[in-house]
Structure 1
Amino acid sequence: MDEYAKLLTPRTKIVAITHVSNVLGTVNPVETMIKVAHQYGACVLIDGAQSVPHIGVDVRKLDVDFYVFSGHKVYGPTRIGVLYGKRALLEEMPPWQRGGGMIKDVNFNQTTYNSLPYKFEAGTGNIADAIGLGAAIEYIQRIGIDSIERHERKLTIYAMEKLYQIPGVHIIGTAPNKTSVISFVIDRVHPESVG
């Protein structure tokens, strides 16, 4: 955390942080990291691709400005994801694309954009993938993220215990606060061969 704080200055405008490492499974202390960034006046974007399917996430509790994750990480379709943004920030941001539905009124003098979320929905939406993503999120909710987290924790502990017993296997990333990602190398075996 000391090294992280050294990276921030009053000139820092946005900080992008991975919530959970996709290599080591380490859960970063994002709540604290967000608070520190906000002390410097920076907005914070959290990449939640590895956290949303494994641990509970409360964007309001985190006080995060933006939170993103991809649909395929929650067992949904590819090419779709979620962007959460604080309302005040989204309202002041200009749209990045133009198209039907995102404009409320247009004339020779000015363009008035539609209200949120339509302001960022240019053209025909990705309807089929949005329905698929909704079904995937409902699936996770039916099981319960707490149940998923408990089950994955048991599997991770079991897998790590078994991997430690194999001669020549070295686990990389043994943080106490981690998800179900286990990275390892094997003596004298190229990673491509292991894969």
Structure 2
Amino acid sequence: MSQFKAFAPNVEVNGETALALVEGMGLFKDRGYRILHDHGIRDLKQGHWYPLQSYLDAFQTIYESTGDFTLFNIGKKIPDNARFPNSIHSVEEALHSINIAYHMNHRINGNVMYDPVTGNLLDGIGFYKFEKTGEREGLFICENPYPSDFDRGIAESMANRYKPKDCEYIILKLDLTKPTRKKGAESCTYTIRW
């Protein structure tokens, strides 16, 4: 499955997450609201749910009119808007938490896709996965319908929030030796060092 196409027709995204699209538009927030409206997401509010495919269609419109950088900025706003687990203290925990947050902010057939009591995740939207490969490095794998640069924004933002005090910067790069959704593959893999 490539980017911008929901894995299932009955998946929804919450208003908190959808608001990140507007926030990521910076000075052009009104345009973000208009794009969402044009794709059937009207009266955007926290606590409400909206069709994921409509949200992804809005992303595609933004990509076609402004390019990758805006998608990256929208991704950077996800940690400010969407729900995330509370107990995060490191880059590794931050990157692992993205998959849980992803499922917390989506539902399928009316059921939120993460159960905090059991820790169970429902299938139907793909995943995010962090694999540690060294003391301060790893792979971040994104297999979901969202655009690649949006995912890069989420990962970079979360890693920067929880980087160690002695870390100056995060190096996050798309691994071009692996398949990428930018070329129709089902996933993207990023290398990350801090």
TM-score class, shorter-chain normalisation, is under 0.3
TM-score calculated relative to the size of structure 2: 0.23
Q: Which has the higher helix share?
A: 2
- If asked which structure has higher relative contact order (CA below 8 Å, sep 6+), I would say 2
Q: Which has the larger radius of gyration?
A: 1
TM-score calculated relative to the size of structure 1: 0.23
